[in-house]
């Protein structure tokens, strides 16, 4: 059995209060007493029971992070960023997967008794939508990530989707591309990353005075590589001429690269490609993938800061915060460079 405060107190010949004071590094402990206690602590191998401490303090120093899927590189990297930031603040992260946009699972998760194990939740919904906004107003502190739900009550940290998508499309236009296809559109939604990025795409065309062509719009529900590859095969079958491709995320873009390679379409010579998210693989694909760096690490940092404020009980009006983005240019939108060195960040 693990040693408790009582055991240590008995061993050191003091009260548990004193042991508690020593363990928690409080003042008002005589040096002699302190060392006697510490000795007992090591002798017994005492380690504080975090569950008891949590029950007593009403605070666990564990925060939850709910993402659609860890096997999507973007979310694995987000999780990594969040864990790094959390660690610096002495927090532990408990990750939960909502499994690719299952609205029911998301709602269940919000209401799960497991919320009680954490002091607060960073929640990245995918299946829930603006209609469900009321449901995210749970008792415990919560910060929303992503673009599914706006103005719902909780703080919200996200990226500049529309602006970044506009910049991405402009990037292709500036390189002389005129017929730019867009991959991953969700025509059924008006919010969400897809809708916002699509908006940016259209805005860039408009600003450049380029016509919008419906035949260049490729709908895809799930933004996985396989869907990108499949959809692009179908698109190529249709024979619609195009010289640029804006993929709504890097997974789609990588799938598209693969499909084009299979079909003998040269990138960037025939088609210049840009993705979104700047996942690590974008550097190592062939050709390396130009992408939008959305400021993921910044999102993680801000989100945790905001969540911690709420946990501490700060009561300001809900905030909507956005990270900075940038375009990382690589081979897929620039020089052919099959002989160049692997893409670097910047």
Partner DNA sequence: TTGAAAGCGCTAACAT
Partner DNA sequence: ATGTTAGCGCTTTCAA
Smallest distance from the beta carbon of 45 to DNA, in angstroms? 12
Does 261 interact with DNA (rule: CB under 7 A)? no
Smallest distance from the beta carbon of 24 to its own copies, in angstroms? 13
Query: Which among 177, 185, 146 has a CA at the least distance from the CA of 294?
Result: 146
Smallest distance from the beta carbon of 64 to its own copies, in angstroms? 10
Pairing of strands 320-322, 155-158: parallel
Smallest distance from the beta carbon of 60 to DNA, in angstroms? 12
Does 117 interact with DNA (rule: CB under 7 A)? no
Smallest distance from the beta carbon of 105 to DNA, in angstroms? 24
Does 111 interact with DNA (rule: CB under 7 A)? no
Size, binding site for its own copies by CB under 8 A: 54
Does 61 interact with DNA (rule: CB under 7 A)? no
Nearer to DNA, 18 or 285 (CB): 18
Residues that bind its own copies (CB under 8 A): 2, 47-52, 54-55, 60, 62, 69-71, 73, 76-77, 79-80, 83, 92-97, 113-114, 116-117, 139, 225-226, 229-230, 254-255, 257-259, 261-264, 280-281, 283-286, 338-340, 342
Residues that bind DNA (CB under 7 A): 1-2, 4-6, 13-18, 20-21, 23-24, 27-30, 32-34, 46, 48-49, 52-53, 55-58
């Amino acid at each position: 059995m693990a040693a408790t405060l009582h055991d240590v107190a008995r061993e050191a010949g003091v009260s548990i209060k004193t042991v508690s004071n020593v363990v928690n590094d409080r003042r008002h402990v005589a040096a002699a007493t302190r060392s006697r206690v510490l000795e007992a602590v090591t002798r017994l191998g005492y380690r504080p029971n975090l569950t008891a401490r949590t029950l007593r303090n009403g605070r666990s120093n564990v925060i939850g992070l709910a993402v659609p899927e860890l096997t999507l590189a973007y979310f694995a990297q987000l999780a990594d960023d969040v864990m790094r930031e959390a660690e610096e603040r002495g927090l532990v992260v408990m990750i939960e997967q909502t499994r690719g946009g299952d609205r029911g699972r998301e709602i269940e998760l919000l209401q799960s008794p497991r919320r009680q194990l954490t002091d607060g939740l960073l929640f990245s919904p995918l299946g829930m939508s603006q209609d469900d906004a009321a449901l995210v107003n749970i008792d415990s502190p919560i910060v929303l990530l992503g673009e599914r739900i706006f103005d719902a009550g909780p703080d919200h940290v996200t990226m500049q989707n529309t602006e970044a998508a506009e910049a991405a499309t402009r990037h292709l236009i500036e390189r002389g591309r005129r017929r730019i296809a867009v991959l991953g559109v969700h025509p059924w939604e008006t919010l969400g990353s897809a809708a916002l990025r699509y908006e940016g795409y259209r805005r860039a065309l408009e600003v450049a005075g380029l016509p919008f062509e419906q035949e260049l719009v490729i709908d895809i529900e799930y933004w996985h590589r396989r869907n990108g590859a499949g959809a692009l095969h179908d698109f190529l079958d249709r024979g619609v001429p195009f010289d640029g491709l804006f993929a709504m995320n890097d997974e789609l873009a990588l799938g598209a690269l693969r499909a084009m390679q299979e079909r003998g379409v040269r990138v960037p010579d025939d088609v210049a490609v840009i993705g979104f998210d700047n996942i690590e693989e974008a550097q190592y694909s062939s050709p390396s993938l130009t992408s939008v760096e959305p400021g993921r690490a910044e999102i993680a940092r801000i989100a945790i800061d905001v969540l911690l404020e709420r946990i501490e009980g700060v009561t300001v009006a809900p905030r909507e915060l956005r990270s900075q983005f940038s375009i990382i240019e690589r081979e897929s939108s620039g020089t052919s460079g099959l002989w160049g060195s692997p893409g670097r960040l910047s």
